[in-house]
Structure 1
Amino acid sequence: MVGTASAHGLRLIAHHDLDGRGDGMQVMREGDALYIGHNGTSGAGTSIVDVRDPVKPELVAQWPAPPNTHTHKVQVADGLLLVNHEGFPLRPPGPAGPHGAGLAVYRLDDPFAPERIGFWESGGRGVHRIVWEGGPHAHMSATPDGFNDRIWVVVDLTDPTNPALVSRWWWPGQADGEKPTWPQGKRYAAHHALVAGDRAYVGYDDANMVVLDIADITMPMMISRAVWGGGATHTCLPLPGRGLVVVTDEQQTDGPRAPERRMHVIDVSDDLNPRYLAAFPAPEGNFNDRPLRFGPHNFHENRRGSYRSERILFATYFNAGVRVYDLKDPHHPVEIAHWISQTPPGSAAPQANDLFVDAEGLIWVTDRGTGGLFVLEPDPDLARLMRDNELPG
């Protein structure tokens, strides 16, 4: 078992190495089943873990990714599992041969034995990240045929056996034949959008945050943009009851001493004119002197059926582990808890990648290197604060 190197407010209650394929990416719990996408370095595609006893998670299914492909993202709702297909590796020179490109749809009559029933072919490099909490429309980033990088795409799942394209939006210059309209040396590319009402808040890499009006889902329109000078903007999590969006700029460069990435608070009470409020504090310690990535990746995304709060926020920070914040004052976010694993065998440093906080308050964390899956629980003080600031319903 890979144990704890440092912790405050969080306790490790279980670890699973995912049968030696520890390159965990997106993780999501639905009832007694936990679904994990894999980064791609191990060759694994998707793992399913029985978590009826969270202290003793049991791997019950694991299937490989297609050749030259990773399937590192999962979404679960309405009795369906969605899995992306994207060429791997992502960075040059890219896939070594033919690869999967699109969105796979599985039926979950048996949550531990998904049955594939549909596939949306995107072409190009494929689908990167999906956002879907049920209903007809799945939002995702993809690099379809005819585009030079990831754009924003909506797919209709009304008939899950035959997913169909609804709409897409891209920054001018991303389509073949268009001239790039961004500064030289920058990358303008969609990561994913989180939705509140008729607004989609899209992390758009070096363009930072793009706000789309999706009142007519067939005709998304950019209405504003928030810019703060960071890069590789990843997660834009709306807190609609407070008129805020919290943002992560993903660290994509290995250390030691990689360029700094931070997390941010944006006021969108007037979403035609977003206003920058504050940066989250960086973890204290010498993490930037250590190997591999140090910096933010993503927030727990407040999905329906999970733990949801607009004040207590959970994020992964690669070699700085899991960090928990109190956003009581949006001008002054405060770190209130953290947890960092020991360095897993086969890795130079821990790499906490993704996390999911379930309705019971347990935190499920993946390591993108070799660490696999970790299960955390909050101490009594943090658990009380979480309960006191949980959204109703």
Structure 2
Amino acid sequence: MIGLPQPDFAHNMRILGHSDQGGRPDGVQVMVHRGFAYVGHMFSKGFSVIDVRDPKNPKPAAYLPASPNTWNIHLQTHDDLLLVINARDMFAAAEFADEKAYYKGQLGQVVGTAQKKAEAPRNWTAGMAVYDISNPASPKQIGFMPVEGGGIHRIWYTGGRWAYASALLDGFTDYIFITIDMSDPTQPREAGRWWIPGMNTAAGEQISWSPAARYGLHHAIINGDTAYAAWRDAGMVVIDVKDRAKPKMIVHRDGIPPFGGGTHNCLPLPDRQLLVVLDEAVLDHQEDGVKNIWVMDNRVASDPKIVSTFPQPAEADYKAKGGHFGPHNLHENRPGTFVSSELIFTTFQNAGVRVFDIRDENKPIETGAWVPPQPARLVDHRPNRARVIQSADIFVDKAGLVYSTDYNGGLYILEYGG
């Protein structure tokens, strides 16, 4: 354990390894595939590949820079393919120096994509890149799907013909849902799209919600022919994708009330006919209110109902700590990873990594926690950011090892003692 970061708090979890990712310790989404971790950077641009075959001694293996003014924060792996988003680097833009501006209102209006043709020239790359990772440490780009607009935010891809993504396209107020035909990985193409009525301003639609709300898709998790879409302040939208060219809505569960907005993950647990729905905390000191993780009864697909909420970390005053306190992301039970409908692994930003037992769906119980120490330095270049940990993403491999990224603190490899 000598030399490894020591936690500010730990319960039933221990650290195995840590990496500063080649001097780029900022990370958002992480995928672990064939012994290598692929990490999208928030502030260092591009993405990194970390050799984690020895989890106690992770080693940087590659770094691929992003195009100018572009971020690659989210990615997906399957077999020999790596899919990487390309979108405008929002947190480098002057419009979003105050992060409140990113999480408030219609993003397309600010970025200039709500109109069919933006007035200002585009200086970023927008779309989805496809890499060959048959050599895991040396990704080679083989395809690209361009989009007209701000770009792609997050993808869901677990192999086969179809991928799914959130896309900020010209003429729309914010990110919408698209399906992507991957039958030829060198030439992926959009196949279909769906949006909440009111988002297509280019077609003359007008919003029916508060202009201050972010009605934009974060991403969807797909189970069979159903997409469970986390639509930020609009809550959860369940979409029938049996016809990938013509997705259609099954149900829309609005975000407010009783939710706090910022819906980030909608995880189906089909064997138990449950959903776990996570609302992301997006402002410091809980200025956006207490955000929860919800358990929902999904026995009637057209009428999911709230069953319970997860407990909030309470062993320290995280609200006063600085940065964001509250849920950010959860492990999404991807095929080939650790899959459980009883244990839910999450990140809670300045409260670190948390594990919950939901065998009794009416009473989730926290059974593990690991809170990283203060990061050595801030990679986050935005003004007035606190030097505190902000645990971002979490991935649990088939063996049960936990990988978690941080906005400034690097990649943590943990073991759950449950």
Q: What do the CA deviations read for 1:344-368 (whole angstroms, capped 9, x no partner)?
A: 1124111110010001110011001
What TM-score does the superposition give when structure 2 sets the normalisation length?
Answer: 0.87
Structure 1 residue matching 2:319: 3-state secondary structure = helix
Distance 1:147 1:201 in 2: 21
Q: Please say which of residues 123-132 and 256-265 is displaced more in the overlay.
A: 256-265
Please say if residues 125 and 143 of structure 1, whose CA atoms lie closer than 8 Å, have aligned partners that are also in contact. Answer: yes
Q: What corresponds to 1:180 in structure 2?
A: 207
Amino acid at match of 2:391: A
- Residues 84-132 of structure 1, C-alpha deviations (whole Å, 9 max, x = no match): 0010125761589601110000011211111101100112100000110
Aligned residue for 1:6? Answer: 9
Note the aligned Cα RMSD (angstroms).
Answer: 1.5
Q: In structure 2, what residue type is equivalent to 1:308?
A: V
The reply to whether residue 189 of structure 1 matches residue 216 of structure 2 is yes
Q: 1:230 to 1:310 in 2, by over 3 A?
A: same
In structure 2, the residue matched to 1:389 is: none
CA contact (8 A) 2:273 2:298 kept: yes
Structure 1 unaligned segments of length 5 or more: list them.
383-393
1:33-74, Cα deviation, whole Å (9 max, x unpaired) = 1111111x22x3110011111100010101222111110111
CA distance in structure 2 between the partners assigned to 1:318 and 1:231 by the alignment: 17
2:129 to 75, 100, 104: 104
1:298 is paired with a residue of what secondary structure? Answer: strand
Distance 2:286 2:217 in 1: 27
> For the structure 1 residues 240 and 123, does the alpha-carbon distance in structure 2 shift closer, same or farther, using more than 3 Å as the test?
same
Percentage of identical aligned residues: 41
Q: Kindly indicate whether the alpha-carbon contact (under 8 Å) linking 1:225 and 1:274 is maintained by their aligned counterparts in 2.
A: no
CA contact (8 A) 2:401 2:415 kept: yes
Counterpart residue number, 1:327: 358
Matched AA of 1:376: L
State the partner residue of 1:219: 246
Structure 1 letter corresponding to 2:231 = Y
Residues 1:278 and 2:298 aligned together? no
Q: Distance in 2 between matches of 1:241 and 1:192?
A: 22
Q: How far has the Cα of 1:263 moved from its partner? A: 0.8
The question of whether the paired residues in 1 share the 8 Å contact of 2:343 and 2:358 is answered with: yes
Q: Distance in 1 between matches of 2:184 and 2:309?
A: 42
1:302-344 CA-partner distances (Å, limit 9, x unpaired): 0111000000110000000001000011111111110000011
CA spacing shift, 1:142–1:14, aligned 2, 3 Å: same
Inter-partner Cα distance in structure 2 for 1:166 and 1:149: 19
Q: How many residues align?
A: 377
Q: Which residue of 1 aligns with 2:326?
A: 295
Cα deviation code 1:182-236 (max 9, x no counterpart): 2342221111111122211100111111111112221111111223332010000
Query: Aligned residue for 2:260?
Result: 230
Mapped partners of 1:299, 1:365: distance in 2: 10
Name the counterpart of 1:317: 348
Distance apart, 1:22 and its partner CA: 1.1
- Alignment-mate amino acid for residue 26 of structure 1: Q
Using the TM superposition, give the Cα deviation of residue 272 of structure 1 relative to its aligned residue in structure 2, in angstroms.
0.9
Contact 2:328 2:347 in 1 (8 A): yes
Describe the SS at the equivalent of 1:296. Answer: strand
Task: Tell me the amino acid that sits aligned with residue 83 of structure 1.
Answer: V
The aligned counterpart of 1:387 is none
Mapping 1:95-244, distance limit 5 Å: 98-176=123-201, 177-227=204-254, 228-244=258-274
Residue in structure 2 matched with residue 365 of structure 1 by the alignment: 404
* Inter-partner Cα distance in structure 1 for 2:351 and 2:288: 14
Which consecutive unaligned segments of at least 5 residues does structure 2 have? Answer: 97-110, 112-120, 379-386
Residue equivalent to 1:20: 23
Q: Which residue does the alignment assign to 1:75?
A: 76
How far residue 255 of structure 1 moved from its aligned partner, in angstroms, is 2.3
Counterpart Cα distance in 2 of 1:51 and 1:344 = 21
Q: Report the Cα distance in structure 1 between the residues aligned to 2:281 and 2:47, rounded to whole angstroms.
A: 24
User: Residues 333 and 339 of structure 2 are in contact (CA less than 8 Å); yes or no, is this contact kept in structure 1?
Assistant: yes
Is the Cα contact below 8 Å between 1:84 and 1:129 reproduced in 2? Answer: yes
Counterpart of 1:390 in structure 2 is none
Distance 1:172 1:55 in 2: 50
Aligned to 1:260: 290
Deviation digits for residues 143-202 of structure 1 (CA, Å, limit 9, x no counterpart): 012212100011111101111111010011111231112234222111111112221110
Q: 1: CA distance between counterparts of 2:122 and 2:290?
A: 34
TM-score by length of 1: 0.93
Task: Between 223-232 and 130-139, report the one with greater CA deviation.
Answer: 223-232
Matched residue type, 2:410: G
Aligned partner of 1:93 among 89, 92, 95: 95
Q: How does 1:31-42 map to 2 (within 5 A)?
A: 31-39=34-42, 41-42=43-44
Structure 1 residue 276, shift from structure 2 partner = 1.2
